Amino acid sequence: DAGVTQTPRHEVAEKGQTIILKCEPVSGHNDLFWYRQTKIQGLELLSYFRSKSLMEDGGAFKDRFKAEMLNSSFSTLKIQPTEPKDSAVYLCASSLENTGQLYFGEGSKLTVL
């Protein structure tokens, strides 16, 4: 079975641009998560979907970050407008409901100049 697929693996953006990161979860998984990873803060939850419904939108990340899940096999994370402090690795993960185990993609490394 294919794991979680994230694209692009690397993205370089100018400050103020809009970027869209994509994620395909493991087939059949009904929970999907977006995390941001930095050396200082570690893994921070941005968004959490269950069966395509947004369960949590990450509080502090609301204003410029928007995650969507239009179908069960595809999710996007839009950052608009980007700022240099958004430079990080963005990880997508999926899981089966109530199993507790997350399967992560390899991440999208974003650099904002």
Partner 1 sequence: SQWGEENLQALSIQEGEDVTMNCSYKTYTTVVQWYRQKSGKGPAQLILIRSNEREKRSGRLRATLDTSSQSSSLSITGTLATDTAVYFCSNSAGNKLTFGIGTRVLVRP
Residues 61-80 that bind partner 1 (CB under 8 A): none
- The interface mask with partner 1, positions 24-53, x = CB under 8 A, is -------x-x-x------xx-x--x-x---
Minimum distance, C-beta of residue 45 to partner 1, in the bound complex (Å): 7
Across the strands, what pairs with 103? 94
Minimum distance, C-beta of residue 54 to partner 1, in the bound complex (Å): 13
Contact in structure between 12 and 111 (CB atoms under 8 Å): yes
Which residues are CB-contacts of 53 (< 8 A; sequence separation ≥ 6)? none
Both tokens assigned to 102: 């997350």
CA distances from 66 to 46, 62, 79, 98 (A): 9, 7, 7, 25
Contact in structure between 24 and 74 (CB atoms under 8 Å): yes
- Total binding residues toward partner 1, as defined by CB under 8 A: 25
Minimum distance, C-beta of residue 81 to partner 1, in the bound complex (Å): 27
Residues in contact with partner 1 by CB under 8 A are 4, 31, 33, 35, 42-43, 45, 48, 50, 55-56, 91, 93, 95, 97-107
